Amino acid sequence: MLPWIQLDSATIPGEGGELRLKQRGSEFSIMLGANELMNSRLSGSEEALATLSWERIKTHPKPRMLIGGLGMGFTLRAALAVLPDDADVTVAELVPAVVAWARGPMAEVFKGCLDDPRVGIHQGDVGEEIRAGKSAYDAILLDVDNGPDGLTRKSNDRLYDFAGLRAARDALRPGGVLAVWSSGPDPDFTRRLKDSGFAVDVVNSRAGRKRGARHVIWLGVKSTR
C-alpha cells in the first residue's frame, strides 16, 4: 500500500481552518483536520448534482449556471458534458489554493475543464455572487462545506437559512433550480426550502458508482409565475 503524501496546505479565508491536499499514487484527497472533504475516486454524487439540475432546466435557452465550490471539479465537468455551447458557467471558489491545485498537481483530474470557454472563475464567497444576481441564473448548485450542517466555515450557514434561500430564489430565473449537496439528510432544511417557496425533490446518491456513502441532493425549483 502506497503511503499518503501531503502536497500542500491552505488556510480557509475568514474563519481559519486548514485544508490539506494529499496524494497516494494517482489518488487525491482534500482533508480538513481528520475529515476527508473529497476524494478523487468518489465523484458520483457531485456528478449527480449537475445532471439532476440539468434535467430541470434543459429547455431554458442560453442557460446560466452558478456553481458554489470548485472541489475536484466533478460537478463542473459533469455540467459541461451536458450544457450546450452557448451556456455560461460561473464557479465561485473561496480558497485560492484550490484553483491553483486544479491547474497544478490535480490537472489530470480536472482534464482542462477550467479552460473551457463557457467557464469563468469567481475567487470569493458564492454568497456574494448570489446576492449580486437578480434573476441572473437558471441553476445555482451549492457543493459548499458539508451541506446545510456546516463543517469548515460557520458563515456558510448563511447560504442555507431563510435569508440565504430567499437570496437564491431571487437570483434564479423563473423555473430555475437551486441544487444543494449534503453529506447526509436534514429534514429541517427540507422544510426551509419548501417554506421559502421552492418545489422540492430530495434525492439520495452514492458517493461512488454503486458504492460508497449515501449523500443527499435537494432540488428546489422556483415557480414559473
Residue 210's pLDDT is: 56
Decide if 174 contacts 223 (C-beta within 8 A).
Answer: yes
124-139: pLDDT as tens digits: 999 999 999 899 999 9
pLDDT at 150 over 60: no
* Element at 76 (helix H, strand E): helix 74-82
Comparing 118 with 206, which gets the higher pLDDT?
118
Give the CA-trace dihedral at 198, 88, 159, 48, to 10 degrees: 70
Q: Span 196-211, mean pLDDT? A: 81
Which DSSP letter does residue 147 get? S
Average pLDDT over residues 98-120: 97
Q: Over range 83-87, report the average pLDDT.
A: 98
pLDDT at 143: 87
One-letter amino acid for residue 2 of the chain: L
Q: What confidence score (pLDDT) does residue 33 get?
A: 86
Specify the higher pLDDT residue, 1 or 64: 64
Contacts 24+ apart (CB under 8 A), 76-80: 76/50, 76/113, 76/114, 76/119, 77/47, 77/110, 77/111, 77/113, 78/46, 78/47, 78/48, 78/49, 78/50, 78/51, 79/50, 79/53, 79/54, 79/141, 80/113, 80/116, 80/118, 80/119
Please provide residue 88's backbone torsions phi and psi, each rounded to the nearest 5 degrees.
-130, 125
For residues 7-14, average pLDDT: 92
Helix (H, G, I), strand (E, B) or coil at 55: helix
Check residue 147 and give its pLDDT: 76
The CA-to-CA distance between both ends of the chain, in Å, stands at 57
| The predicted structure's pLDDT at residue 208 | 53
If you average pLDDT over residues 156-182, what whole number do you get?
94
Q: What is the pLDDT of residue 104?
A: 97
How buried is residue 93: exposed, middle or buried, by Cβ count under 10 Å (0-12/13-18/19+)?
Answer: buried
3-state SS, 158-223, equals: HHCCHHHHHHHHHHEEEEEEEEEEECCCCHHHHHHHHHCCCEEEEEEEECCCCCCCEEEEEEEECC
For residue 11, is pLDDT > 70?
yes
Mean pLDDT throughout 153-158? 67
Cα torsion 136, 161, 13, 152 to 10°: value is: -120
Query: pLDDT-derived band of residue 205, with 50, 70 and 90 as boundaries?
Result: confident
Which three cell numbers, joined as nine digits, stand for 123?
475567487
Least confidently predicted of 84-88, 172-176, 177-181, 182-186: 182-186
Across 18-32, 39-53, 94-108, 210-224, least confident range: 210-224
pTM here is: 0.93
Q: Which three cell numbers stand for residue 54?
A: 440539468
Per-residue pLDDT for 16 more than 60?
Answer: yes
